[in-house]
């Protein structure tokens, strides 16, 4: 059976600051999807990570389906109404357009979708990150699919011997989707030179070269490209199919043990270590740290199993401590040098206005 899995997420308001959506807000989104999704969806799950609420859906309408996107948009509109009623912070934050127009892409919410012929056994992982941007997935997608240090299956499993094909998007290009496709292992170094710059080049999808099957998709929208100013982080979602022709679930999770540094955290403008957290985790220290959650599921005839929380396991407690230590280490130097996001990211904040003002006061000293 050919199914589509769609993950669409947005921040439409949160309690206490940018911490967590209210229960009522999540209920409003859930009720809308339950009622209005009946004729559209096979199944759905609602979850939240930090202040973002995600709608995970299965259906047979393919990717970029107008009705599916409208369902999610309208659910977030319902959530916004509750956020306003409750005086939540950032009510409607990620709904950047007044009216829905065909597709949530370019309108604020983040989305990623994959259509595929269901395997008899179909495990996958739904990742959601808060206080960071889509480039946060570059490192784990590179290492999880292309590096035998993490993906031992590249050495051990004949199903993956052909390698993978990455589609990478230039997210600074705003006229349309500017993409490149690279095959690993042959073009591993070409892939590496792009992915090392996660604010510019972002993994959009990964396919198995042996079967052509879609293996991973990442939401790649950039809020500041849409709004023209800083409106919050892009807090990405990703879907990864696992096992057989794809890395095992554990191989995909393995790179997260690095707690790699990402751009995000407070005002989306700092460098902190990405902390793998349990689903539903809240945001705290310095409007962060940047977090990632991982829901493990199987799907059959479009029906989801229960979710298992893949970072709710004692191993990850040590990694959470490591992430805390790495974050504190760089936070020690505040806004200086490498502790703050690169200038292109800050261009959308007050820093640039200040520099413009100061620029007028600079003088060139005569000999
Ligand atoms: P299966 O042989 O059950 O697919 O598991 C592969 C594996 O060992 C993952 O690490
Ligand atoms: P969100 O993008 O998660 O709303 O975070 C905004 C922010 O910058 C908090 O400091
Ligand atoms: Mg927010
Ligand atoms: Mg958020």
pLDDT in tens, 178-231: 999 999 999 999 999 999 999 999 999 999 999 999 999 999 987 777 777 777
The confidence score (pLDDT) of residue 158 equals 92
CA of 331 to the centre of ligand 1 (A): 40
CA of 361 to the centre of ligand 4 (A): 37
d(CA 85, CA 189): 52
Dihedral sign (CA 229, 196, 105, 263): negative
Q: Are 142 and 43 in contact (CB under 8 A)?
A: no
Residue 173 a catalytic site member: no
Q: Which atom of ligand 2 is nearest to the CA of 11?
A: 4
Length of the chain: 367
Mind listing the pLDDT tens digit for each residue in 62-84?
999 999 999 999 999 999 999 99
Residues whose CB is under 5 A from ligand 3 (ion)? 11, 18, 51, 90
Ligand closest to CA 253: 1
Classify residue 190 as exposed, middle or buried by CB count within 10 Å of its CB (0-12, 13-18, 19+): middle
Residue with CA at minimum distance from ligand 2 atom 1? 232
d(CA 256, CA 315): 11
d(CA 345, CA 133): 11
Mind listing the pLDDT tens digit for each residue in 113-138?
999 999 999 999 999 999 999 999 99
d(CA 180, CA 191): 10
d(CA 246, CA 164): 9
Mind listing the pLDDT tens digit for each residue in 325-337?
999 999 999 999 9
9, 45, 131, 233: the catalytic one is: 233
Count of CA atoms in the C-beta half-sphere (13 A) of 315:
11
The finding on whether 248 has its CB within 6 A of some atom of ligand 1 is yes
Mind listing the pLDDT tens digit for each residue in 273-288?
999 999 999 999 999 9
The confidence score (pLDDT) of residue 346 equals 87
Q: Which atom of ligand 2 is nearest to the CA of 231?
A: 2
128's tokens:
């959601």
φ, ψ for residue 293 (rounded to 5)?
-115, 155
Residue 11 a catalytic site member: yes
Residue with CA at minimum distance from ligand 1 atom 3? 243
Alpha carbon of 6 to those of 79, 159, 218, 238: distances in Å?
19, 26, 11, 10
d(CA 234, CA 266): 13
d(CA 189, CA 290): 28
Ligand 2 binding pocket mutation candidate from 232, 266, 349 (most atoms within 8 A of CB): 232
Structural domain spans, the chain: 2-358
Q: Are 141 and 244 in contact (CB under 8 A)?
A: no
Nearest to 238 by CA among 8, 69, 59, 70: 8
Mind listing the pLDDT tens digit for each residue in 34-50?
999 999 999 999 999 99
Q: Are 8 and 100 in contact (CB under 8 A)?
A: no
pTM over 0.75: yes
139, 142, 166, 230: the catalytic one is: 230
The confidence score (pLDDT) of residue 367 equals 86
Mind listing the pLDDT tens digit for each residue in 293-326?
999 999 999 999 999 999 999 999 999 999 999 9
CB proximity list for 229: less than 8 A, separation 6 or greater: 348
Dihedral sign (CA 335, 338, 340, 344): positive
φ, ψ for residue 130 (rounded to 5)?
-125, 150
Residue with CA at minimum distance from ligand 1 atom 9? 248
Dihedral sign (CA 3, 250, 233, 279): positive
CA of 61 to the centre of ligand 1 (A): 31
Q: Are 143 and 247 in contact (CB under 8 A)?
A: no
Mind listing the pLDDT tens digit for each residue in 140-189?
999 999 999 999 999 999 999 999 999 999 998 888 889 999 999 999 99
Residues with a CB atom less than 6 Å from ligand 2: 11, 18, 50-51, 90, 93, 130-131, 232-233, 235, 266-268, 287
9, 11, 235, 287: the catalytic one is: 11
Residue 64 a catalytic site member: no
């Amino acid at each position: 059976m050919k199914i589509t899995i769609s993950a669409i997420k947005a921040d439409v308001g949160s309690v206490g600051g940018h911490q967590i959506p209210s229960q009522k807000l999540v209920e409003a989104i859930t009720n809308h999807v339950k009622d209005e999704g009946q004729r559209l969806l096979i199944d759905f799950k609602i979850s939240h990570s930090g202040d973002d609420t995600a709608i995970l859906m299965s259906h047979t309408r393919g990717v970029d389906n107008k009705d599916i996107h409208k369902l999610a948009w309208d659910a977030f509109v319902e959530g916004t109404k509750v956020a306003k009623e409750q005086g939540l912070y950032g009510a409607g934050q990620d709904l950047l357009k007044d009216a829905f127009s065909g597709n949530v892409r370019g309108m604020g919410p983040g989305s990623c979708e994959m259509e595929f012929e269901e395997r008899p056994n179909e495990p996958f992982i739904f990742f959601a990150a808060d206080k960071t941007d889509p480039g946060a997935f570059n490192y784990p997608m590179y290492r999880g699919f292309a590096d035998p240090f993490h993906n031992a299956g590249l050495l051990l499993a004949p199903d993956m011997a052909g390698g993978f094909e990455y589609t990478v998007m230039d997210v600074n290009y705003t006229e349309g989707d500017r993409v490149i496709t690279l095959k690993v292992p042959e073009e591993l170094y070409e892939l590496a030179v792009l992915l090392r710059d996660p604010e510019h080049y972002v993994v959009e999808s990964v396919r198995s070269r042996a079967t052509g099957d879609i293996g991973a998709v990442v939401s790649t929208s950039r809020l500041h490209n849409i709004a023209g100013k800083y409106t919050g982080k892009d807090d990405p979602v990703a879907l990864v199919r696992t096992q057989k022709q794809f890395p095992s679930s554990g191989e995909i999770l393995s790179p997260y043990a690095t707690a790699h540094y990402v751009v995000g955290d407070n005002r989306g403008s700092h460098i902190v270590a990405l902390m793998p957290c349990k689903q539903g985790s809240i945001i705290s220290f310095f409007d962060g740290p940047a977090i990632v959650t991982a829901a493990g599921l199987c799907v059959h005839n479009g029906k989801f199993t229960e979710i298992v929380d893949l970072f709710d396991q004692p191993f990850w407690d040590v990694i959470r401590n490591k992430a805390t230590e790495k974050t504190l280490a760089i936070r020690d130097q505040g806004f200086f040098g490498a502790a703050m996001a690169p200038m292109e990211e800050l261009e959308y904040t007050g820093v640039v206005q200040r520099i413009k003002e100061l620029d007028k006061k600079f003088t060139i000293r005569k000999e």
